[in-house]
Amino acid sequence: MSKSESVVHGSAVPPNALPALGRLLETQVCAALIAEHGHTIVAKVARAHLDALRIDARAGKLDASQLEPQALHDAIAAGLDRELSGAMRRVFNLTGTVLHTNLGRATLAPAVARYVSQVAAGPNSLEFDIASGRRGDRDHLVEGLLCQLTGAQAATVVNNNAGAVLLTLAALAQGRDAIVSRGELVEIGGSFRMPDVMAAAGVTLVEVGTTNRTHLQDYERALGANTGLLMKVHTSNYAIQGFTAEVDEQALGDLARRHGVPLVSDLGSGTLVDLSRYGLPREPLPQDKLLAGCDVVTFSGDKLLGGPQAGLIVGQRDIIERIRRHPLKRALRMGQLPMAALEATLRLYLRPEHLTKELPTLRLLTRSQHDLRQLAADLQPHVAQACAPCVTVSVRDMDSQIGSGSLPGRQLPSAGLALSLAGGVSGAGRLDGRALERLAAAWRALPQPVIGRLSDNQFLMDLRCLDDVATFRTQLADLPPLLAQADLS
């Protein structure tokens, strides 16, 4: 160490001035790091750092100051940080999409997160009946709750709704036909396409009707000896408008019963409470579909339900039994962490009066534009100060959306902050889109990344999902150097 300290500052040093890895690991530079993290990872990171320095040295770009003990220590410590800190980061979702699939969809309620960490931190009664001391079934943790909340006779759960649909089709119609309206052959993001799911389940898709109109006779004509089931799919991410006709579950249920086949409904985003109670657009409820005559309904745990990723299957007891016995059920079964989260989330529904307070999804969806405007006005001066002088910040009304294919085309009046590059609007006309992207990147480089969206030559932050205002404000102090690096001029 004393050797490198004696090197003259500011001059390029040759590759042979680099310490050998073995020696470096024995010096004070690494001692504390090895004591904390062990030899293996420190050696790996130190080797990578020396390799990088060697490349610089060969290019004549290695400065002697980089070989000083403190500099070497800091670089290796930073490398360890990068290796060891989690890749999954808490972010601020200011995109305006409440259930954002790329940002984890529904946020778990704090009480739910506490329950998960408590029961999952040790052995638990996942498949154990404490009263009898016998083996239990993980479905039983949530089946009673799901039956209570939906009026179903029985319920089972799997990993996600795509899995729920796949399993239901395979269990009820493998090697047979499933009849679906042409207007309902949906594609959900992430390559869930109804025709492909049917094929994967070993079911033959029989399309009936046309894209815009399907009638009862269309289903009737397609029914035959090889029909395994009739299916309704909620067109959750698009709407067919104009000259349209579809057959409701009542009529379809009667038809299915006359032919002795089940009617399955894939609801996508099932909500267990009538959203119109909160001034939100009404989404179909699984309980409505069951009452109307569906034998089985599938829906997601992490869409409007506001829980963990899960696929919920509710319906007639004998049909749920057939589904439960299929081998795919075991392959698609839920893990204990989401299971605990689902159970705790469903329990929140036992106290509907508290839901808008306790269930984050519902709380965020029901925030009023008035409150969000107020929040935007409160934050505007602080954000403006952190962004000056290159960026101007204004309060703006916006439209949030629910996301994850819920309530397509319905906007929720919201408010937030619009950031423009100063001079961009009045000045040279077209803005430099790259500079705007660098502005967005600077916000993502904050300790808790802020994810907004770009629109109309502005960087927009919709405040509907901003919960932790204190952290948001505190980390504004980190923004000016990031904006300086972003070179927005």
Shortest Å distance, C-beta 186 to ligand PLP:
6
187 backbone φψ class: left, alpha, beta (φ>0; ψ -120 to 50): beta
Shortest Å distance, C-beta 208 to ligand PLP:
18
Closest CA to 295 of 245, 246, 252, 330: 252
Sequence-ordered list of residues with C-beta below 8 angstroms from that of 296, at least 6 positions apart, any chain: 168, 172, 262, 263, 264, 265, 313, 314, 315, 316, 319, 320, 323
Shortest Å distance, C-beta 336 to ligand PLP:
19
Phi, psi of 204 (to 5 degrees): -90, 120
Distance CA 334, CA 340 (A): 10
- Measured from the CB atom, the residue of 19 and 262 that comes closer to ligand PLP is 262
Return the beta strands (E) in 92-222 as ranges: 92-93, 128-129, 134-135, 154-158, 177-181, 187-188, 192-193, 204-208
Polymer length of the chain: 489
215 backbone φψ class: left, alpha, beta (φ>0; ψ -120 to 50): beta
Closest CA to 396 of 457, 441, 447, 444: 457
- The H or E element spanning position 410 is strand 406-421
- Measured from the CB atom, the residue of 4 and 161 that comes closer to ligand PLP is 161
At which residue do the structure tokens 């579809």 appear? 246
Q: Are 268 and 236 in contact (CB under 8 A)?
A: yes
27 backbone φψ class: left, alpha, beta (φ>0; ψ -120 to 50): beta
* Amino acid in position 477: A
Distance CA 458, CA 460 (A): 6
Distance CA 235, CA 187 (A): 9
Shortest Å distance, C-beta 99 to ligand PLP:
10
For the beta carbon of residue 481, count every other beta carbon within 10 angstroms.
11
Shortest Å distance, C-beta 302 to ligand PLP:
6
Phi, psi of 87 (to 5 degrees): -85, -20
- Measured from the CB atom, the residue of 62 and 165 that comes closer to ligand PLP is 165
- Measured from the CB atom, the residue of 30 and 263 that comes closer to ligand PLP is 263
Sequence-ordered list of residues with C-beta below 8 angstroms from that of 333, at least 6 positions apart, any chain: 138, 158, 159
- Measured from the CB atom, the residue of 45 and 165 that comes closer to ligand PLP is 165
Shortest Å distance, C-beta 305 to ligand PLP:
10
At which residue do the structure tokens 């704090």 appear? 110
Distance CA 217, CA 206 (A): 14
Distance CA 181, CA 219 (A): 8
- Measured from the CB atom, the residue of 183 and 268 that comes closer to ligand PLP is 268
- Measured from the CB atom, the residue of 165 and 320 that comes closer to ligand PLP is 165
Shortest Å distance, C-beta 128 to ligand PLP:
28
Phi, psi of 114 (to 5 degrees): -65, -45
- Measured from the CB atom, the residue of 286 and 416 that comes closer to ligand PLP is 286
- Measured from the CB atom, the residue of 188 and 320 that comes closer to ligand PLP is 188
- Measured from the CB atom, the residue of 233 and 263 that comes closer to ligand PLP is 233
Shortest Å distance, C-beta 290 to ligand PLP:
17
Shortest Å distance, C-beta 234 to ligand PLP:
5
Query: Residue number with the shortest CB distance to ligand PLP?
Result: 268
Sequence-ordered list of residues with C-beta below 8 angstroms from that of 331, at least 6 positions apart, any chain: none
- Measured from the CB atom, the residue of 150 and 236 that comes closer to ligand PLP is 236
- The H or E element spanning position 267 is strand 263-268
Shortest Å distance, C-beta 297 to ligand PLP:
11
**Contact residues for ligand PLP (CB under 6 A)?**
160-162, 165, 186, 188, 192, 233-234, 236, 266, 268-269, 300, 311, 405
- Measured from the CB atom, the residue of 169 and 483 that comes closer to ligand PLP is 169
Shortest Å distance, C-beta 194 to ligand PLP:
8
- Measured from the CB atom, the residue of 128 and 192 that comes closer to ligand PLP is 192
